[in-house]
Structure 1
Amino acid sequence: MTERKPAGMTYESWLDKQIREATDRGEFDDLPGAGKPLPDAGQSYDENWWLKDYLRREGVSGDGVLPPSLLLRRDVERLPDAVRAMNSEQRVREHICELNTRIVAYLRMPHGPHVNVTPVDADEVVEQWRARRQPAARPEPRADSERTPAGPRWRAVFRRRR
């Protein structure tokens, strides 16, 4: 049952008395997290802490709260990584076409914060995609004079050492 503040006591001293008495009775002894540092101690205050905590607990990314213009800008910036995993040029072009369709729809009726975003040049992205997929250039074979002799004489040397 909650007590009323007695007349003549300051509110702070009355609270301090309540906490001290509860501590003496051992009411704070087995609380979860006892003896551990406070989470986020020493960090600056974030007014959206509750939203970030909710999204983290629910396993949701912040994409749902971003305006379309920022999502488009992010997708354009991540495009090289997105197409790197694709295994066909047709799939790369389809992905770019879908992105460009979203960009054009935004440009026709922009809303949210203005972000400078323009359609992507599909041929340029495909060219970069092809360049990344090319195997590394193999070193040229050495001239005959640089090769190690592999004739029967060398095989005999290795047999003797065994």
Structure 2
Amino acid sequence: MLSGGRFMSDGKKREYEVEERLQYKDHMTEIIRKAEDEGHFEDLPGKGKPLHLGRNYGGNSYEAQLNKTLKDNHVLPRWVELANEIDHLKEQLQTREGKERKKLVKEINKKIKEYNYACPPSLQRNKVSE
């Protein structure tokens, strides 16, 4: 068990114990910390050298590295995937009539709403009308 304390309104510190099994543990952090302690990260290529991020992605270096990693692994942000889906559905809209067209417009507008919540504000789209 672990002990701790808390100051009460009378200025006295009250001791209390928290059961170890009730404490939150971040398992991934524990796994990484254990691997660090065992020296698994000591012989990595490029350790201690600066990252060459190339082009500035408009954010800080952490965001630039994240964007580079996503790009290198062909992973698109959800809002980019949605933009592609919306464009594809809009192409289909030209060949639809009646109830089928109304249903497709509703689906497109639902995706546009999700897209607008996820994308940068300057890239937001307007809903499609029939």
TM over 0.5: no
Scaled by the length of structure 2, the TM-score of the pair is 0.33
- Between structure 1 and structure 2, the one with the greater Rg is 1
Between Structure 1 and Structure 2, the one with more helix by share is: 1
- Between 1 and 2, higher relative CO (CA 8 Å, sep ≥ 6) is seen in 1
TM-score by length of 1: 0.28
